[in-house]
């Protein structure tokens, strides 16, 4: 296959790379126009469907104008951006404000569609580095009282996890705890489903969710389990006005026994008998809205 058609490394007088106006260093390491997607630096784009392999390398691919824009506005380290020429100028100010140098690749939209196998409406992609794991003690210390945390157990579906992340950011969750049996919110599909809101949410990864919940309880954080098979107690009766962690599981099985036992109480969302559970994104939104309501936060949104 053919290599890149041309590569630009403009000097001090240019607007891409080097030193720009008033001596400000630009954050575009290089600008290349591509005719193919060969080369090791482009490997993450060619393998974008291999999201678990990317996670092992602690990188992820962001897709779409809104997600890429939110990524560039965040503090997450961006490695490169791949986009059609029409998006070059609109995205340039965001790239130039980055603290790190970002490689920028321009390609025809038809070439980019070969990466996914379907028509891409916008064609914007970016590769970024997954942030270093955040210890729960640091997440709690950085949060503001009354603290509102969320935790997930057994949530393997990346799209469902991304939807939950979106609810977490909408309802002011200060950190998300991801248990050992759940997917990462930085998988490509989870990032896409979250619409990039994951970039605003501190994430804690743990290999022992039940043990971590026990430590939270010992520090005064009430752990409320959202369990579809809980009897008697409903979400409206749960006490979530103080420091609280809402613990959510997968649709159907719900939470594991060990995680349920690690919580202060199990409560359910009352619903028609024809439906026994909700998607975790929907269930999470109900629980987190109720926590916000009890805190008097709804009227201040």
The Cα–Cα gap between 158 and 230 comes to 25
Q: Show the CA angle centred on residue 202, arms to residues 46 and 213, nearest 5°.
A: 115
Cα 216 vs. chain centroid, distance in angstroms? Answer: 23
CATH of the domain at 102: 3.30.1330.30
- 143-178 per-position pLDDT tens digit: 999 999 999 999 999 999 999 999 999 999 999 999
Q: Is residue 1 part of a domain?
A: no
Cβ atoms within 10 Å, residue 240: 23
Query: In b/e form, how buried is each residue of 180-197, taking b as 16+ CB within 10 angstroms?
Result: eebbbbbbbbbbbbbbbb
Tell me which of 84, 101, 129 is where a domain ends.
Answer: 129
Q: Is residue 201 part of a domain?
A: yes
- 122-131 per-position pLDDT tens digit: 689 999 999 9
211 and 278 housed in the same domain: yes
One DSSP character per residue, 206-271 reads -S-HHHHHHHHHHTT-EEEEE-TT--S-BGGGS--SSSEEEEEEBTTTBS-HHHHHHSSEEEB---
Instruction: Report the Cα–Cα distance between both ends of the chain, in Å, rounded.
Output: 53
In this predicted structure, the answer to whether residue 16 has a pLDDT above a threshold of 50 is no
162 and 282 housed in the same domain: yes
165 and 242 housed in the same domain: yes
The Cα–Cα gap between 85 and 34 comes to 11
State the pTM of this model.
Answer: 0.87
Domain count, the chain: 2
154 and 37 housed in the same domain: no
Rg (CA), the chain: 22
Mean pLDDT in residue range 281-297: 95
Residue 105's domain comprises 6-129
Stronger pLDDT, 299 or 57, i.e. the higher one: 57
Give the pLDDT confidence score for residue 116 in this predicted structure: 62
205 and 142 housed in the same domain: yes
């Amino acid at each position: 296959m053919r290599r890149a058609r041309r590569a630009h490394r403009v000097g001090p007088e240019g607007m891409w790379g080097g030193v720009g106006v008033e001596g400000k260093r630009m954050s575009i390491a290089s600008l290349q126009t591509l005719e193919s997607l060969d080369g090791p630096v482009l490997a993450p784009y060619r393998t974008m469907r291999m999201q678990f392999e990317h996670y092992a390398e602690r990188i992820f691919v962001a897709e779409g104008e809104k997600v890429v824009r939110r990524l560039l506005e965040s503090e997450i380290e961006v490695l490169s951006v791949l986009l059609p020429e029409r998006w070059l100028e609109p995205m340039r100010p965001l790239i130039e404000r980055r603290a790190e140098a970002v490689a920028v690749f321009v390609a025809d939209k038809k070439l980019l569609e070969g990466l996914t196998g379907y028509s891409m409406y916008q064609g914007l992609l970016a590769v970024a580095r997954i942030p270093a794991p955040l210890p729960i003690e640091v997440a709690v210390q950085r949060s503001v009282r009354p603290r509102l945390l969320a935790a997930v157990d057994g949530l393997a579906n990346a799209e469902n996890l991304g939807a939950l992340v979106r609810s977490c950011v909408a309802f002011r969750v200060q950190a998300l705890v991801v248990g050992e049996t759940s997917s990462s919110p930085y998988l490509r599909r989870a990032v896409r489903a979250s619409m990039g809101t994951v970039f605003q949410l501190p994430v804690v990864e743990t290999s022992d969710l039940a043990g971590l919940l026990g430590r939270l309880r010992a520090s005064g954080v009430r752990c409320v389990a959202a369990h579809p098979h809980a009897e008697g107690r409903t979400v409206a009766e749960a006490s979530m006005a103080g420091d609280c962690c809402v613990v959510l599981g997968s649709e159907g099985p719900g939470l594991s026994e060990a995680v349920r036992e690690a919580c202060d109480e199990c409560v359910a969302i009352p619903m028609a008998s024809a439906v026994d559970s909700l998607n975790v994104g929907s269930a999470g939104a109900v629980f987190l809205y109720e926590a916000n309501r009890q805190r008097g936060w709804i009227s201040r949104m």
